[in-house]
Chain A
């Protein structure tokens, strides 16, 4: 099989925070009625994590499930395992109304790391979201607008954020994050 290539291959920017392309990332879109009795069990068995609450993201090692909308979840897992997990999900949900599809190559995935306050600040320059530590913490994935495009952000831990967007705007989002992280652009809004 051909070599998977991410949106902005190996791109790294170091400014007040470090912005980098995470490389190929496995993603599966899972859609179903939230009341589907088999759903919870299927996700638990295949991913090893519980279905997250509204806006939540629950992880199990290198796998995670994120809430996308009332009837949609995003599953994150290593790139090479996506197809197999998709097949497992389909098998586990057989006979119920659902959709499981690998969308790994449809999206771009970035990591923003650095000082906790700086990471929040860089994101806050781009999204209409209250990123104060009291209002936005780990375990929540926020789908929002990043400058002119849709994106989802979450904090893996304090000082490490992840950003997902469509692949077609991957280079744009990388440039946005890089510009927001330019040296000398500190705002110090979240500094205690």
Chain B
């Protein structure tokens, strides 16, 4: 069972209280972009075994979206952070580096 801390409520919310929102930090390419960029935005996902960044919504709680950094293999959660950002904050990256030296995920490391 996955338990994530909602950064708005400060609660450790059970997975059944949350709604998954897929991969985090997708960069949108809209009208006028190249077909390759749009395809990447629409379909290409990381699907890693290891460090991963996801969007979650505290659906049965405060209703807010947030980001979570976790390991898909061990279910270890490195941290959660605000949805109002385009990249993982430094403290989350540091926490992951401490546990998984040399990790990379898309353009982040």
- Answer yes or no: B63 CB below 8 A from chain A CBs: yes
**Which residue in B14, B17, B60, B62 is a CB contact (below 8 Å) of A69?**
B62
- Answer yes or no: B11 CB below 8 A from chain A CBs: yes
A 67-124 contacts with B by CB, 8 A: 68-70, 72
* Min C-beta distance of B21 to chain A, whole Å: 16
A-side binding surface: helix, strand, loop or mixed?
Answer: strand
The proximity string for B residues 1-42 relative to A, scoring 1 for CB distances below 8 Å and 0 otherwise, is 000000011110010110000000000000000000000000
**Which residue in A54, A143, A150 is a CB contact (below 8 Å) of B10?**
A54
User: Which residues does chain B contribute within 8 Å of A142, judged by CB atoms?
Assistant: 11
State whether B17 touches A55 (Cβ < 8 A): no
B-side binding surface: helix, strand, loop or mixed?
Answer: loop
* Min C-beta distance of B42 to chain A, whole Å: 30
Give the CA-CA distance A143 to B59 in the complex, in Å: 10
A 42-81 contacts with B by CB, 8 A: 54-55, 68-70, 72
Interface CB pairs A-B, < 8 A, 20: A54-B8, A54-B9, A54-B10, A55-B11, A68-B62, A69-B8, A69-B62, A69-B64, A70-B64, A72-B62, A128-B16, A128-B17, A142-B11, A143-B61, A143-B62, A144-B17, A144-B60, A144-B61, A145-B16, A150-B60
- Which A positions have Cβ atoms within 8 angstroms of B? 54-55, 68-70, 72, 128, 142-145, 150
- Which B positions have Cβ atoms within 8 angstroms of A? 8-11, 14, 16-17, 59-64
Contacts A128-B17, A144-B61 aside, 13 further interface pairs with beta carbons under 8 A come to A54-B9, A55-B9, A69-B63, A69-B64, A70-B8, A72-B62, A128-B16, A143-B60, A143-B62, A144-B17, A145-B17, A145-B60, A150-B60
